[in-house]
Amino acid sequence: MSSLGALAGIGDTPLVELCSVVPPNGARILAKLEWANPTGSMKDRMARAAIEGAVRDGLLKPGGTVVEYTAGSTGISLAFVCAVLGFNLHIVFSNAFSQEKRRTMLAFGATVEDIQSDSGAITESLVNAMVARAAEVSSEPGAWWCDQLNNRDAITGYVPMGEEIWAQSHGRIDAFVHAVGTAHSLHGVTRALHAHDPSIRIYAVEPSESAVLSGGPSGPNRIEGIGIGFVPPLWEPDEVDDILTVSADEAMRMARRLTQEEGLFAGTSSGANVVAALRVAERLGPDARIVTIMCDSGLRYLSTELYRSVGG
């Protein structure tokens, strides 16, 4: 048994081919099932890398407290890693995000405080308020602020996902399509893939309601985990070939289709990834192979509009 305990379960997630939602004779689309990580999210990768980096650099001491603002998935993953390694965790959260995420963070032992969203939507002002509050809490003795938007260790945590994709696809990949929140997972995977083949095309995905990477205005967004309302500070536009926009309604419809037609219980950002991947498949034609990410499980969204009324 690994001395890492449950952290040894992070990574080596399956790569499967979509069958039912892909048009006949279209490009093949492969999906990386990141809900196979211990907490059901790709964020386990960055949480481990970020915390281990802080310990390595002497920023986080035994018995210390990790502080972070989060839409939930990063918070859950940080709570998991903190539980394994024995750190405290203070999360700045909001009512704009699912109750499943809140309850999971609490179950792992995190302290969770809220910044209220009057409209229940994800906006630039909400994210900025969450960041500001996390900065305040991190000034307390023994606290270390993960600050995911500016944390380069988080990018490094996703490089192994790119290596896994390369190995699982046997190096036969023409494009990688993925949604942008912090942009860390997009960039980490891209750097791994481009180290093997610089010709692989990279497509970023963002909500059409808040398409700031595409030069559009910031606006309220209903796709949890992506579309923070401003350009992420570590965004590298030169690594990306194109940016695709997907609406929340399109993403939710696809997430439900993935669940009912492919048996893949998807969250909203995963639905957005597949909508965009299908558009890329049309561009590249039937000989292409495209990889995208199932970021987390639909289990995190049962109380939200994504699945609340399904079958009811």
* 243 and 190 share one domain: yes
* 173 and 285 share one domain: yes
* 29 and 70 share one domain: no
* 182 and 77 share one domain: no
Boundary residue ending a domain (152, 181, 207): 152
Beta bridge partners of 204: 178, 243
pLDDT of 279 strictly over 90: yes
* 297 and 176 share one domain: yes
CATH of the domain at 219: 3.40.50.1100
43 in active site: yes
Q: Per the domain annotation, does 229 fall within a domain?
A: yes
Pick the catalytic residue: 117, 210, 218, 269?
269
Q: Per the domain annotation, does 307 fall within a domain?
A: no
Distances, alpha carbon 111 to alpha carbons 70, 144, 212, 300, in Å: 13, 14, 32, 19
Q: Per the domain annotation, does 309 fall within a domain?
A: no
Boundary residue ending a domain (129, 152, 175): 152
Give the pLDDT band (50/70/90) at residue 311. Answer: low
Q: Per the domain annotation, does 85 fall within a domain?
A: yes
Q: Per the domain annotation, does 132 fall within a domain?
A: yes
185 in active site: no
What digits encode the pLDDT tens for the residues 110-129?
A: 999 999 887 778 888 998 99
* 203 and 135 share one domain: no
CA-CA-CA-CA dihedral for 154, 159, 164, 166, to nearest 10: 150
Boundary residue ending a domain (127, 152, 177): 152
pLDDT of 285 strictly over 60: yes
In 108-235, which residue ranges form alpha helices assigned H by DSSP? 124-137, 152-157, 159-168, 184-196
Q: Per the domain annotation, does 77 fall within a domain?
A: yes
What digits encode the pLDDT tens for the residues 134-186?
A: 999 999 999 999 999 999 999 999 999 999 999 999 999 999 999 999 999 99
291 by Cβ neighbours in 10 Å (0-12 / 13-18 / 19+) ranks as buried
Q: Report phi then psi at 145, rounded to 5.
A: -90, 120
Cα separation of 51 and 67, whole Å? 11
pLDDT of 98 strictly over 90: no
What digits encode the pLDDT tens for the residues 248-257?
A: 999 999 999 9
* 26 and 94 share one domain: no
The domain tally of the chain equals 2
Q: Per the domain annotation, does 142 fall within a domain?
A: yes
What digits encode the pLDDT tens for the residues 200-251?
A: 999 999 999 999 999 999 998 899 889 989 999 999 999 999 999 999 999 9
Handedness of CA 261, 266, 271, 274 (dihedral sign): negative
* 145 and 259 share one domain: no
Domain extent, residue 13, equals 5-37+155-301
* 164 and 235 share one domain: yes
Cα separation of 105 and 302, whole Å? 16
Pick the catalytic residue: 43, 73, 77, 94?
43
Task: Please tell me the chain's helix, strand, coil percentages from 3-state DSSP, rounded to the nearest 5.
Answer: 40, 20, 40
Q: Per the domain annotation, does 293 fall within a domain?
A: yes
Cα separation of 84 and 63, whole Å? 12
Tell me what the mean pLDDT of segment 251-269 comes to.
96
Give the pLDDT band (50/70/90) at residue 2. Answer: very low
* 63 and 175 share one domain: no
What digits encode the pLDDT tens for the residues 67-92?
A: 999 888 999 999 999 999 999 999 99
Determine contact, residues 207/247, Cβ cutoff 8 Å. Answer: yes
* 170 and 242 share one domain: yes
Give the per-residue pLDDT at 71.
Answer: 84
* 79 and 215 share one domain: no
Cα separation of 282 and 202, whole Å? 15
DSSP 250: H
Long-range contacts formed by 104-112: CB under 8 A, 24+ apart: 104/39, 104/72, 104/76, 104/79, 104/300, 105/72, 105/75, 105/76, 105/79, 108/76, 108/79, 108/80, 108/82, 108/83, 109/79, 109/82, 109/83, 110/75, 110/78, 110/79, 110/82, 112/75
For the chain, strand residue ranges (E) read 15-17, 28-33, 65-69, 88-93, 111-114, 143-145, 175-179, 201-207, 242-246, 289-294
